[in-house]
Structure formats: C-alpha cells, structure tokens
Amino acid sequence: MKRYLFGIVVGIAVWWILSLIVNSEIILPSPMAVLGSLNKIITSREFYGALASTILKGLFSTLLVITIGTSIGMLMGLKRSLSDVLKPFVTLLQSVPVVSWLAFAIFLWGIGWKGPVLLTTLSLLPVVIINTYSGVLNVDTQLLEMARVYGVERKKIFKYIYLGSLLPFMLASLRITLGNVWKTILVTEFLCGDQGIGVMIAWARSYVDTPRIFALTLIGVVLAVSFERTGEGFFERVLRRWKLS
C-alpha cells in the first residue's frame, strides 16, 4: 500500500514538473489548476445529475452485457450446431467499427441515453460471449461422464462441474466489463449523449477548458476503479459462499 501511494505521489510530482516546463494551461494544466476545477465541478448542481445519468447507463449496460453475453456463450458451448450458426454474428460484432454503430444509433434515436447504452453493450458483448463459450468448452468431459455413470443429479452437475469451470471465466468477464464500461460510456456520451460526464467533457472541449477536461477525466477514472473493485469484491464473496454450500 505504501508503494502504491508513493507511486501516486511520484506521478503527481512528475505531472507538476512537466506542467511547469510546458507552461501552458491549455496543453498541460497543473495539478492545482485541475484540483481547483474539480472543486468547482463537485460543488455544482449539474454534476450530480450528470453523474447519476452516467452511473445508471453504465449499470444498465453492464447488466445487459453480462446477462446476454453469458446466456449466448453458454448456449454456444452446450450446442455445437448453435455455435456454428452464431460464430459469424459474434465475429461481425467484433469487426464492425464503433463509428458505424454510432451512425446507426443517431439515425434511429438521435441524441439521448439509448445510443450510449447500445454502443457500450455491442462493444463489450463479444468479449463476454467468447469468455463464457471458452469456459463451457473447458468443462472436463471425463468428469461429466463419471458423474452421469454414478447417477449424480443434473442440478449438482450444473452447479459443481459446469459452474465450477465457468466461474473463473465469468470473473474475467466481469473484470473486463467493469473496467471498460465506464470508458465506453463516457466516449459514447461525448458522441451522442444528452446528459452525463461525457457530455460535460464535450462542453469543456468546446470552451477549450483543459483543466475541466482533466478534472472530469479524473472523476471517470475514480468511477471505473471504484466499481471494478466493488464488483470484484462482491463476486469473490459470492464465490466463497458457493464453495462452502
């Protein structure tokens, strides 16, 4: 922990020195300028509405990604014929540029909350599908055969064999999703949102307010790290309870 804090202090010191060398608030604002802008942001009324909007979109997108991605990945792993049919669609999702989905979302709904949710979901969905699919393929077939020979209940087979193989992959999916959903939400809000931290960054860019952009970016980083750590802690507690049950 001490080394972690020391690394943060060193990073801020390097940032401060570079800002003195550059000597331009537009290019690289000082830590004090960013801190001052951060104080203005968190004491304004509009910030909390924007923060709530971003968090709601992020949580909704995460729920969609995990639910849909896990379900499709499991079906693909359990049904080889279905896997062959769906693989081209997963490849398509991975390959289509975000800007194409952006144009589609704007044509369909215009500026609003639906575009960021759709773009974030489509961007992260292939990763969860592939992770879950790999987890199902990782199931020990010999262990399954032995369980069937000894007449083990299907419920226990699913819980202890399938879920036992899937849980590490599900944890990886959760980490990837929680680590990237906030970055994607901010970018999509910036491009086609009507409210949120990403929209505030867009307005700060329009006014060439670099300290405000840095401050809002810092808020986005704190948001991403906080939710990622919280999600990991929750999942690990569930995993421990599952092992004890």
Mean pLDDT by 10 residues, the chain (245 residues): 76 87 87 92 91 93 91 84 84 84 85 89 89 79 70 70 74 80 90 91 92 93 85 72 62
The whole-number pLDDT of residue 144 equals 67
Structure confidence at residue 43 (pLDDT): 92
Provide the whole-model pTM: 0.84
Domains of the chain: 44-244 (1.10.3720.10)
Q: Which two tokens stand for residue 8?
A: 């943060």
> What is the DSSP secondary structure assignment for residue 160, as one 8-state letter?
I
CA 234 to CA 216: how far, in whole Å? 27
pLDDT for 49: 92
In degrees rounded to 5, what are phi and psi of residue 153? -60, 145
Q: What is the DSSP letter of 159?
A: I
Assigned token pair, 214: 């840095």
Task: Return the pLDDT at 103.
Answer: 85
Check residue 242 and give its pLDDT.
62
What is the pLDDT, as a whole number, of residue 153?
72
Burial of 213 (0-12, 13-18, 19+ CB in 10 A): buried
Task: Look at residue 51 in the predicted model and tell me its pLDDT.
Answer: 93
Q: What's residue 189's pLDDT? A: 92
Q: What whole-number distance in Å separates Cα of residue 181 and Cα of residue 61?
A: 8
Q: How far apart are CA 66 and CA 235, in angstroms?
A: 13
